[in-house]
Structure 1
């Protein structure tokens, strides 16, 4: 059952403006736009929004949340367990702060004496350790690890594979410069070549779902965008769109 932006805002308790902002930054795009121009949200959109709000509750910046959710290795079950762990620790931290407040109140009344250490018990100004844990699980290191097989090849073989890879990118940049549609037969054949190359040469299993997630990284991760656009201006966005079309056609 699809929901309008207003219905979703009322259900969750956030503003329509917030949902519009999430759409504008590609953090949460509606599943479709109605003929009248209204945003419509699917069940999958609701699941993603729940993840967004879990991470936001735990002080993750929106940019980091997008990188995590768009990563092809993101696992919802692992994320829920991480959320639970984080929230339980946060609850324990809040309980400790409340206890410190209660103790301080008694101290002011002269009922007890607090040491200087006790006055600051519960305060923690360290960086969010769980942001680092999430980054380890779903951040750039996962994609870096996927290139292990390529980097461990003998020099000549690696050179040949890198040249093959670069030729695919150059060909895609060429059809992009010719303003051919991402759905064109020539472009889709090159995307097929890229998909085959990844599965044949990279130490990672690229299912269609993972391949689509990789295409998301091309525009979500500045490092990928910069490296791909080195072959041609706007290539990262072009490949992102072409990969989405490829995946839709092969599901």
Structure 2
């Protein structure tokens, strides 16, 4: 058992915060001492860890309480998302460090602001929230995919990658061209039919995700060739009437 003071120091959370978590039923102490002091066992510490993971993803406390209390709460999925988020934050910090070192070395003659772009982190957080928050789109996805086998999922992913092959075959054209816009509509229809109703708002979010780096961008580039992810993103933004970054 650990006292509230020990947990505060261990987790880097104030005692007042722990008291508040207790008050709203988010994190109850395991028991109290005769003097009324809070005590926490390993199970309580694990729950605190989960709470802090979701705080990193910027979830409201009321949503965290509902998520970690579910009988189907997937701890591994939550941890995988936290690892990915930290990797994105690490990459963002490294870009900022590189920019500052370059600025120190070369001065302000060539200023670049790309290192300040945190859109990858924001987009990943948004998608994570969609999954845990049980949005209508995610509920629809769960319903459509519940009876699919691993082989079905593999085939579906193959079909999706074929669409990016098609994007790659026309990537020399303007993103706003008739051909590119027709491809975006084809992608939107595919997602709506097989995953969830793909509104323009959702589609623009996916477009940003496609160029966020990592596995998703690599898969698109492998399917359609270098530059396909950026071309698809630009075409999607033109289709949705959203200014690209």
Scaled by the length of structure 2, what TM-score is found? Answer: 0.49
Scaled by the length of structure 1, what TM-score is found? Answer: 0.48
Structure ID, larger Rg? 1
